[in-house]
Amino acid sequence: MESHSESSLVSELAGLLKDTPIPKELEVTILPFENDEDVNTSSFMKEGVHLGIHAPNVPKLARAFRKIYYSLRNVAFDSIDSKNDSMDNLMDCISCLLLLCPDHATAWADRRRCLLKRVSALEKKSVTACMLIFWIAELGYITMLFTQHSKAPNAWGHRRWVCRQMLALFSLENRNGALREDWHPSESIIQWATLEIAVCSVIAETYPKNYYAWTHRIFVIRTLANIMSPSMCTKNDDNGRENIKAVLETEASLTEPWLCRHVSDHSAAHYGGEALALWLQVGGGSNVTRKWKMAIVQGKLQESRRLIMKFPSHEVIWTWRRICSKFCFVTFTKEEALSFLQEEISFASSIFDEASSNDAKEIEMQRLFSMAYVVWILKYARECDFDLISLMDEINVIKGRVRQMEMPKSVIQVLMKLG
C-alpha cells in the first residue's frame, strides 16, 4: 500500500510538471490550502506556471521519491534492452527528486544517461530540429528549478553539460551543411547565448551576487568570443561576427548600470572585468589600435569615477575601480601609467579628505576604502615593474594618513613594503 502511495506521489508531481502550461516557477513553501482535508491529501499546488510543494511534507516526499528512484534505476540501467517505460518512469522520478534535492549528483548523472538514450533515438532519425527542441525543453526544466534552488553546483554543472550538447549540435550543422543556404551556425549560437544570458540576468536580479549565475555567464561570453576565431566561423559569416560583437559589447557595457542598482554585487564587478577583457580582445577587429583600447579604458574609468562619487563607502565600487585600473597598466605606456597613478592618488585623497556623511561609519568606510585603493594600485604598479621613486612623497603622505586611522594590519604590512 505504501509503495502504491509513493508511486502515486511521483505520478502526481510528474504529471504537474508535464501538463501545460509547463511550470516556470517552483516554490517549496507552506501552501495556502483552503481546508484541512487538502492538507492531508495533497502535497502540491499548481496555478498557471507556478508549481508549489508543501514544505512540511518534504521529509515524507523526499523519502518516497528516493525509494522509488533507487528501485527504478536498477531496473532501467541493468536491463540490456532498456524498455522505454522504465526509462520514462525513472526520468519522471528524477524530475521529482531534484525539485527537493537539487544537488543530488547521482540523480543528475542518471538524468544525463536517460537524456542521452532519448536523444540517440532522435539522432537516428536525423531530426536536428527535434533534438534542439529536446535540449531547450531540458534547459526549461533547469530554469524552473533555479527559481527555488539557484545555488546548487550540480544543477549548474548539468546546465553546462546540456549547453555543450547543443553547441555540438550547432557544430554538427556546420559540418554536415546548413539547413538553408544563408544559414550560419553563429545564428543559433547567438540565440543560445541570448537565452542563457537572460536566464543568468533574471537569477542575478532575484539572487544578487549569485556566484554560479555569473560564472555561467562568463562561460557563455567566452564561448561566443571563441567562435570569433577563423577556424570556427564560416568564411562568409561577417554578419555573424558583427552580431557576436554586438552581444559582447553589450555585456561589456552593463557594469555601471548594474552596479548603480546593485552596489554590493562583487560578482557583477568581476564579470565586468571579464567581459571588458573579451571586448578589448575581439571588439576592435583585425585592425584594433591602442588608441581604440585606450578610449574604451578611459571610458570605464569615467564610469567608475561616477560610481565612486555616488557610493564612496561601498567596497565593491572601489573593487570595480581596481579592476579598471588593471586595464590601464596593460594599455598605457609607462609615462601614461605614472601620470595615471598620480591622478589616482589625487582622486582617492580627495575622497578621503572630503568624506562627509551623517553616518560616522560611512565616513570611516570611505576613508578606509580610498586609502586601501591607493595602496592597492601602488602595489599593483610595483608588481608590474613600475618604478615608484618619483611617487615617494605621495607614498609618505599616504603613510601618514594610514597612521592616523585604524587600518587593518594587512594594509599596513603591504604599505610598509612599498618603501
Stretch that binds another protein, among 4-12, 16-24, 121-129, 320-328 (CB under 8 A): 320-328
Q: Which is nearer to another protein, 132 or 275 (CB)?
A: 275
> Among the residues of 147-210, which ranges form H helices?
153-176, 185-206
Q: In three state form, how does the secondary structure of 256-283 look?
A: HHHHHHCCCCHHHHHHHHHHHHHHHHHC
Query: Any contact of residue 157 with another protein (CB under 8 A)?
Result: yes
Q: Which of residues 274-303 bind another protein (CB under 8 A)?
A: 274
The residue whose grid cell reads 546540456 is: 162
Contact 345, 391 (CB under 8 A): yes
Query: Any contact of residue 201 with another protein (CB under 8 A)?
Result: no
- Contacting residue, 2, 335, 383, 385, with another protein by CB under 8 A: 383
**CA neighbor of 237 nearest in space, from 280, 165, 174:** 174
Strand 50-54: give its sheet, edge to edge. 25-29, 50-54, 44-47
Q: Which is nearer to another protein, 66 or 399 (CB)?
A: 66
Query: Any contact of residue 248 with another protein (CB under 8 A)?
Result: no
- Contacting residue, 315, 338, 394, 407, with another protein by CB under 8 A: 315
- Contacting residue, 100, 225, 276, 398, with another protein by CB under 8 A: 100
Query: Any contact of residue 92 with another protein (CB under 8 A)?
Result: no
User: Cis peptide before 21, with omega less than 30 degrees from 0?
Assistant: yes
Residue type, 68: I
Query: Any contact of residue 261 with another protein (CB under 8 A)?
Result: no
Query: Any contact of residue 310 with another protein (CB under 8 A)?
Result: no
Stretch that binds another protein, among 12-20, 126-134, 299-307, 315-323 (CB under 8 A): 315-323
* Neighbour count for residue 393 (Cβ, 10 Å): 8
**CA neighbor of 17 nearest in space, from 104, 169, 138:** 138
**Element containing residue 25 per DSSP (H, E):** strand 25-29
The dihedral of CA 207, 26, 52, 11: what is its sign? negative
Query: Any contact of residue 207 with another protein (CB under 8 A)?
Result: no
Query: Any contact of residue 222 with another protein (CB under 8 A)?
Result: yes
Maximum alpha-carbon separation in the chain = 84
Q: Count the site residues for another protein by CB under 8 A.
A: 58
* Beta carbon of residue 251, minimum distance to another protein (angstroms, whole number): 14
Query: What span, in angstroms and rounded, lies between the C-alpha atoms of 87 and 73?
Result: 8
Query: Any contact of residue 413 with another protein (CB under 8 A)?
Result: yes
Contact 272, 265 (CB under 8 A): no
Q: Which is nearer to another protein, 61 or 296 (CB)?
A: 61
Q: Which is nearer to another protein, 43 or 243 (CB)?
A: 43
The dihedral of CA 359, 362, 368, 398: what is its sign? negative
**CA neighbor of 313 nearest in space, from 261, 362, 264, 262:** 362
Q: Which is nearer to another protein, 144 or 365 (CB)?
A: 365
Query: Any contact of residue 118 with another protein (CB under 8 A)?
Result: no
Query: Any contact of residue 399 with another protein (CB under 8 A)?
Result: no
Stretch that binds another protein, among 31-39, 293-301, 321-329, 341-349 (CB under 8 A): 321-329
Query: Any contact of residue 409 with another protein (CB under 8 A)?
Result: yes
* Neighbour count for residue 140 (Cβ, 10 Å): 14
Per-residue CA distances from 303 to 2, 260, 314, 324, 377 (Å): 63, 11, 15, 10, 18
- Contacting residue, 46, 112, 117, 399, with another protein by CB under 8 A: 112
* Beta carbon of residue 20, minimum distance to another protein (angstroms, whole number): 29
- Contacting residue, 118, 151, 322, 399, with another protein by CB under 8 A: 322
- Contacting residue, 16, 39, 45, 58, with another protein by CB under 8 A: 58
* Beta carbon of residue 105, minimum distance to another protein (angstroms, whole number): 5
The dihedral of CA 179, 181, 184, 188: what is its sign? negative
Stretch that binds another protein, among 139-147, 183-191, 214-222, 283-291 (CB under 8 A): 214-222
User: Could you list the residues that contact another protein (CB under 8 A)?
Assistant: 55, 58-63, 66-67, 70, 73, 100-101, 103-109, 112, 153-154, 157, 160-161, 209, 211, 214-215, 218, 222, 264-267, 270-271, 273-274, 314-316, 319, 322-323, 326, 372, 379-380, 383, 408-411, 413-414, 417
